[in-house]
Amino acid sequence: MAFCVLRHKKHRRYPVIGPVVLLMLALLVSGCALFASAPPSQQSNICEIFRQEPSWYDHAKNAQDKWGTPIATQMAFIHQESSFQSHVKPPRDRLLGFIPWFRSSSAYGYAQAQDPVWGEYEEEAGGLLTRRTHMKYATDFIGWYNRRSHERLGISLDNPEHLYFAYHEGPTGYRRGYHRNKPQVLRSAARVSGLASRYQSQLAGCESEFRCRHFWQVWPFCRG
């Protein structure tokens, strides 16, 4: 670590953290948001999303194979939750209408996972190195959560609307039907369902572009 040095009358030296070190610390605290990838420019088309970020297809495909949630549904969830912004958080409330205050929840990252459930994911499936700001773990988290909703609540993995209700309200809230009295949640779930259907149709016409693009993906283990 680099330090500057100030000299006292008695020639004692006092380390002072330099501006470069301060900048590095600020970036670490902020989660390196300045270096995050820009969100896809054409978010209504899953083919264009994967053309801009081809590794996202790999992550979503791995999550689909592992947990069962279709690629299109995973990406529709992420579009709804964060618009593909890696470091997004809920806005801060305002005390007295103008003083920045606490955030409404601990939701963070692509999947807007909150601290408690992310901790459960880390313990059960993710591990300590998972990051909510990485698409690999966002898709895996969504797959894990939806598999849990399927097993606990009996929701089909091909029903993005009700998967989203459970995702937003949690298993207890879903069982009690809290979403039925929340117009905004109903609208969000309908958007997720419609976008998942559109993404699925689009992906059917372009998925061959993203399969078998690595040198180790060879026939007959990989087919376009």
pLDDT of residue 207: 95
99 or 130: which leads in pLDDT: 130
- Residue of 86, 152, 151, 148 lying closest to 113 (CA atoms): 86
> Is there a contact between 164 and 81 (Cβ–Cβ < 8 Å)?
no
Mean pLDDT for the stretch of residues 176-205? 98
Q: What percent of the chain has pLDDT over 70?
A: 73
pLDDT in tens, 121-139: 999 997 778 999 999 999 9
Check residues 8 and 211 and name the one with the higher pLDDT: 211
Which of helix, strand or coil describes residue 97?
Answer: coil
pLDDT band at 211; cut points 50, 70, 90: confident
Residue keyed to tokens 């970036």: 27
Report pLDDT for 90.
60
pLDDT band, very low/low/confident/very high, at 150 (cuts 50, 70, 90): very high
Percent of the chain with pLDDT over 90: 64
Q: What does the angle CA 100 – CA 102 – CA 107 come to, to the nearest 5 degrees?
A: 125
On average, the pLDDT of the chain sits at 83
Answer whether residue 186 shows pLDDT above 80.
yes
Residues linked to residue 115 through DSSP beta bridges, in sequence order: none
Lowest mean pLDDT segment, chosen from 61-70, 75-84, 102-111, 208-217: 102-111
Q: What is the pLDDT of residue 203?
A: 98
Q: What is the DSSP letter of 14?
A: E
CB 30 within 8 A of CB 38: no
**Residue of higher predicted confidence among 17 and 121:** 121
Whole-prediction pTM: 0.79
Distance CA 30, CA 52 (A): 25
Does 178 have pLDDT greater than 60? yes
What is the per-residue pLDDT for 50?
Answer: 97
Grouping H, G, I as helix, E, B as strand and the rest as coil, residue 2 is: coil
Residues 91 and 103: their CA atoms lie apart, in Å, by: 6
pLDDT band at 221; cut points 50, 70, 90: low
Retrieve residue 76's tokens: 């529709």
